[in-house]
Amino acid sequence: MMLGLGAPLLSACGGGGNSGNGAGPENVVASVVVDDDWRTATPESEGVAAAAMQSLLSEGAQIPEMRSLLVVRNGSLIGERYYADGKSSDLRHIRSATKTVSSLLAGQAIRDGKIRDATATLGELLPKELAKVPGSVAGNVTLAQVLRMRSGLEWDEDVHLQELLHTPDLTSLALHLPVAPLGPNGPYWNYNSAVSHLVSPIVADAYGEDTLAVATRNLFAPLGIRQVTWQRDATGTILGSFGLQLRARDMMKLAWMALDGGMWQGKSVVPAAWLAESFVNHVHIGPIGDLSDVGYGYLWWRGMLGGHQVITAYGFGGQFAMLVPDLRMTVATAALWDLPIQQGSDNEELIFNLIGRFLSKL
């Protein structure tokens, strides 16, 4: 989807929709991680009425595809419920919320001096990969443009979804894309899961290591995330746009760390300056259900929900890691995702509306 200023959202987040892989609607990996990693508190002790929390968790059951719903305030877990056959030990696909994890890794690479800054071009960052694609026009695209979905490379997420999900070499697919027409203010905002995938090989090349190894050392281990799965394409490259599976409690760790200026248990995990830069809005989209004034940062979504500014990692079907800065609150959800596009999009709106009703009471 190619959007200019004020254009509506045309389809669901990329890397979603029915994959046609026959794996079934759950596609869950069971973990062996125990639930000992969050301080818990009553809603009332953190200034949230018990009735409001109970209503949120109960209404979640009215969305048939919902599988988990968690709320943290001031660093304490004050609400947690699993639905249908969902369990706290489930590693569930977070779909395009994977992109936000890639954004965090890019910020860490800049911190570590592995990437100059967000103005570095693909020509600098992926020279070996570009050498395999003679005539590629991607070399002058900057990391910032990739993260903002303003690469200027032509892509239609709806038309090319199956190609995206099944290509053996997603890096090559992205680097083969042609130039798209320019808008009045330069490249249009265009949701592009092929180009955003490139953050994974960028991180791998920057460190000279596999992306999963980098993520485990720099992000997952510091957060106490002890078990994940992450898909690769046929070349062995970790998918930068989708394919990561996490527990709901671990999704919440990413959310709270990001809300808390990149800090976790007193230590910096992601630079606060990178997160602040990542949250800056670069486009106006929307609305999506009750989420209004929708915008986009560095692979983070923004909007107004229930009278509060929210920033969220956003995966197809309702995989959310949502920050509510003015309330010092984070919300994480998981839902079925291997669904027709319209059904998954409808579920996203239902979940946004549910959270919005809750936030409006606070």
Angle at 323 between CA 191 and CA 352, to 5 degrees: 65
Q: Please write down the HEC assignment for all residues of 197-213.
A: CCHHHHHHHHHCCCHHH
By C-alpha distance, which of 268, 270, 274, 308 is closest to 291? 308
Which stretches of the chain are DSSP H helices?
50-60, 97-111, 122-125, 127-131, 143-148, 161-166, 170-175, 193-196, 199-207, 211-215, 248-259, 272-278, 341-359
The model's pTM is 0.94
List, for residues 184-207, the tens digit of each pLDDT value: 878 999 999 999 999 999 999 999
DSSP state of 334: E
DSSP state of 181: P
CATH class of the region 91-246? alpha beta
Domain locations along the chain: 39-90+248-362, 91-246
How confident is the model at residue 90, as a pLDDT? Answer: 96
How many angstroms separate the CA atoms of 350 and 132, rounded? 44
- Cβ(228)–Cβ(244) under 8 Å? yes
Q: What is the mean pLDDT of residues 312-326?
A: 98
List, for residues 30-70, the tens digit of each pLDDT value: 999 888 899 999 999 999 999 999 999 999 999 999 999 99
Q: What is the mean pLDDT of residues 152-181?
A: 95
How confident is the model at residue 163, as a pLDDT? Answer: 94
Give the pair of three-digit tokens for residue 351.
């979940």
List, for residues 70-119, the tens digit of each pLDDT value: 999 999 999 999 999 899 999 999 999 999 999 999 999 999 999 999 99
The kind and range of the H/E element at 304 are strand 301-305
Q: Does residue 259 register a pLDDT over 60?
A: yes
Give the pair of three-digit tokens for residue 239.
């998918």
Q: Does residue 18 register a pLDDT over 60?
A: no
How confident is the model at residue 26, as a pLDDT? Answer: 73
Q: Residue 183: which pLDDT band, with cuts at 50, 70 and 90?
A: confident
How confident is the model at residue 13, as a pLDDT? Answer: 55
How many angstroms separate the CA atoms of 293 and 143, rounded? 25
Helices then strands (H, E): number in the chain?
A: 13, 18
Q: Residue 132: CA atoms inside 13 Å, Cβ hemisphere, count?
A: 9
Per CATH, domain 39-90+248-362 is 3.40.710.10? yes
22 or 192, higher pLDDT: 192
Mean pLDDT, the chain, as a whole number?
93
Q: Does residue 277 register a pLDDT over 50?
A: yes
Q: Do domains 39-90+248-362 and 91-246 have the same CATH topology?
A: yes
Q: Does residue 3 register a pLDDT over 60?
A: no
Q: What is the mean pLDDT of residues 138-162?
A: 96
Q: What is the mean pLDDT of residues 288-292?
A: 97
Q: Does residue 25 register a pLDDT over 70?
A: no
Least confident of 23-32, 104-113, 214-223, 261-270: 23-32
User: Beta-carbon neighbour count of residue 115 at 10 Å?
Assistant: 22
How confident is the model at residue 35, as a pLDDT? Answer: 80
Secondary structure (DSSP) of 61-113: TTSTTEEEEEEEETTEEEEEEE-TT--TTEEEE-TTHHHHHHHHHHHHHHHTT
